Amino acid sequence: MPVTIRDVKVICTAPEGINLLVVRVDTSEPGLYGLGCGTFAYRHLAVKLVVEEYLKPLLVGRDAESIEELWQLMNQNGYWRNGPIENNAIAGVDMALWDIKGKLAKMPLYQLFGGKVREAVAVYRHADGNNLDELCANIQKYVDLGVKTIRVQCGGYGGGGYSHAPVGTPANAPDGVYLDSRKYISQTVKMIEGVRERFGDTIGIVHDVHERIAPPDAVRLAKALEPFNLTFLEDPVQLEQTEYIKRIRECSSIPIAEGELFNNPYEWRNLIQERLIDYIRVHITQIGGITPARKLQLFAEQYGVRTAWHGPGDMSPLAHAANIHIDIAARNFGVQEWSGIEPPNFVIQELRANHGALLDVFPGLPEYKDGYVYPNDKPGLGVDIDEEEAKKYPCRNDVTTWTQTRNYDGSLVTP
């Protein structure tokens, strides 16, 4: 008899103040369930509704092991495809089905993907600071922990936070995150030059443009950063302007990572086929979960493009674990963003103090050690959820401010 889907439910929790959404799929096999991440932190209630009102009635009673069939069914059932709300809803179910598959096989997921091709996954961490000295002090903390690649920023993405319109903007300009592109480019080049002077070539450096400048400015920035041997420049152009990457390629040898906002295979297909990017940088729940992420990883491998999956704080530990399982079995793995979710036995106790609530809600995280993350060998994803603990940290439905990014004339720019 097949193992069938008995129930699908959504668990929303925010143990670190960031909305996280978990999908639990229960089966006809007593005690057998799977967990998946469907986090879209800024539209979590919309994802919850899609899972509960549309996917659950579609899935209950179907074979839980038919992952490919069910992914295609969920993707096609709403007729219109490849939007972030539906993709995240599908991802939560898809990841839970893979978790079930691993538990049935009594294997960690990486074994189902062909087994290890490396023992651990190299990660990079994010260091910020209000000035170069503060930034370098934060970099040093990670270097002391064994991290070998650091993403560097000064004063947040683009150089500022949400505030009233600054001096130099038009009268009555709205509040927002204001960005002066010329100042940002100049300061970024000086910042990275300063980091190289302090640390030499002992660390890999990543910088995230976050799509916040016009494409011609991205070309200029890439040319200016070429001497500093970056690991990659992240998301230099907007999702809608990726054709400009050809211009960057013509002017600079700097490696490029793109794709944090990708939803649709057409957004990455030509970039990979034409070798216009060096790292594919998708958020795996944003593209629909493990099933499409594995296909993308294998597709990119054929063209020498490496993976650098998105791994921020606004995804649950289940999705972080999914990243690690794919990475450990991928020949074209590059580097993995890691947002600091070290397990309880991690030696730096201040990190345990900073992330204790998250670790209480999600037991079973992969282990960080000396710049690498090691998967655990529990069946499936290897991460569970304590639903009673999760209830202690309800989600909030506030207006998102950090995405209200503006030019100095007050007009909106992509965040």
CA-nearest of 11, 76, 5, 10 to 392 is 11
Helix (H/G/I), strand (E/B), else coil: 340:
coil
Helix (H) or strand (E) holding 187: helix 181-199
- 210 carries an active-site annotation: yes
Q: Which of 33, 142, 157, 244 is catalytic?
A: 157
The burial of 318, by beta-carbon neighbours within 10 Å (0-12 exposed, 13-18 middle, 19 or more buried), is given as buried
Going by their DSSP bridges, the two strands 121-127 and 20-27 should be labelled as unpaired
Helix and strand numbers (H, E) in the chain are 14, 15
**83's tokens:** 């939007």
Contact 337, 328 (CB under 8 A): no
Show Cβ contacts of residue 57 under 8 Å, excluding neighbours closer than 6 positions: none
Q: Which of 126, 210, 283, 355 is catalytic?
A: 210
DSSP string for 381-403: T-----HHHHHTS----PPP-TT
- 325 carries an active-site annotation: no
Return the residue matching tokens 């700097």: 254
Query: Active-site residues: which are they?
Result: 157, 210
